[in-house]
Amino acid sequence: MKALPDWAFTAAVAFCGFAFFAIAHATGNAIWTDVASRILVYGLAAVSLDILVGYAGMVSFGHAMFLLCGGYAVGILAREGLVSGFIQWPVAMIVSGLLAALIGPLVLRTGGVYFILLTLAFSQMLFFLFTGFSRYGGDEGLQVYPRSEFIRAVDLSNPDTLFIVVLLVVCVALYAMQRLAKSPFGLVLKGCRQNEKRMQALGYQTFRYKLLAFVIAAAVCGLAGAMLANVTGFVSPEYGSWQRSGELLVMVILGGMGTLRGPLIGAIFLLMLEHVLSEQTEHWPLLLGVLLVLVAIYLPNGLRTVSVLFRRQSNVS
């Protein structure tokens, strides 16, 4: 089976999004669009993390700090009276990218486990920093009011409009990321994951490539954060909690790392599962935890492994 071309996959995502939107409205479940926007935003964050984990082999356990960064960029600008989304969203991306450019050289000095622990430590640092900022709500968070303003016809306080905007932005970003992954730059990153020494011997300054990947992933995640602030209407340090970073990693694992498309599926699966489980029992994290342990031990390639199993069986029969 040949994989879908990038444009076709992106178009399929857009189509599914609009179909979902139509069904939700036709069946009188317009409230679903709110959940769907949230899932799309987390999906984009997970896809940006996959650039690091699945391509460059950089396991970041602090990726949610860029959600926090992007979210607060929107929240703080809105509080200070700058409400244009044309300014807010790019600022969210730039600030997140700058933050990554600042801590990137520190966390990239060593690899492997140190990278995991250091990204975690820096995300915690940001978490505590915002907990202490009493001007912007401290640990209680900050209302995002008003929502980002674009042109008059686009009113983001309407969940339907917001869903359409989020869907379009996510599709564009998804397409761009897939192209990026196939570009020479993406291939160098892939080479770093497989054998960084060999890439260096080939004359590539792998540090620069990895730093740039870190910055790009951060900027995209910052964009997701800016959208998340609009979806929830609220930002708090919890955006950057290490549990959130862990969830993003889980999405990447579930969907299959190094595929870019998988993490989007992983996000849908994880958030739907959380949603369903939390309606069944208040102790749903227990079940989720058991699932994660089992996935790590038995399904290291994520849900793809399951689909491969099915395919083999159908070939046999």
Question: Which parts of this chain interact with other proteins (CB under 8 A)?
Answer: 53, 59, 61, 103, 106, 109-110, 112-114, 116-118, 120-122, 124-125, 128-135, 138, 242, 246, 249-250, 253, 257, 283, 285-286, 288-293, 295-297, 300
Please, what is the minimum distance in Å from the beta carbon of residue 239 to other proteins?
16
Q: For 119, what's the count of Cα atoms within 13 Å in the CB-facing half-sphere? A: 28
Please, what is the minimum distance in Å from the beta carbon of residue 99 to other proteins?
13
Closer Cβ to other proteins, 84 or 205, answer by number = 205
Closer Cβ to other proteins, 76 or 93, answer by number = 76
The alpha carbon torsion through 189, 50, 45, 95 (nearest 10 deg) reads -20
Q: Which residues contact 64 (CB under 8 A, 6 or more apart)?
A: 45, 123, 239, 240, 241, 242, 244, 245, 247, 248
Q: What is the phi-psi region of residue 203: left when phi exceeds 0, alpha when psi lies from -120 to 50, beta otherwise? A: left
Kindly write down the DSSP assignment for every residue of 138-187, as one continuous string: GGG-EE--SPPB-STT-BTTSHHHHHHHHHHHHHHHHHHHHHHHHSHHHH
Closer Cβ to other proteins, 222 or 302, answer by number = 302
Which among 276, 217, 257 has a CA at the least distance from the CA of 67?
217
SS3 content of the chain, % helix, strand, coil (to 5): 80, 0, 20
Closer Cβ to other proteins, 293 or 309, answer by number = 293
**Phi first, then psi: what are they for 155, rounded to 5°?**
-110, 105
Please, what is the minimum distance in Å from the beta carbon of residue 289 to other proteins?
3
Closer Cβ to other proteins, 118 or 171, answer by number = 118
Reduce the DSSP state of residue 235 to 3 states and report it. strand
Please, what is the minimum distance in Å from the beta carbon of residue 179 to other proteins?
25
Closer Cβ to other proteins, 233 or 285, answer by number = 285
Alpha-carbon Rg for the chain in angstroms: 19
Closer Cβ to other proteins, 223 or 271, answer by number = 271
Please, what is the minimum distance in Å from the beta carbon of residue 75 to other proteins?
16
Distance separating alpha carbons of residues 71 and 227, to the nearest angstrom: 7
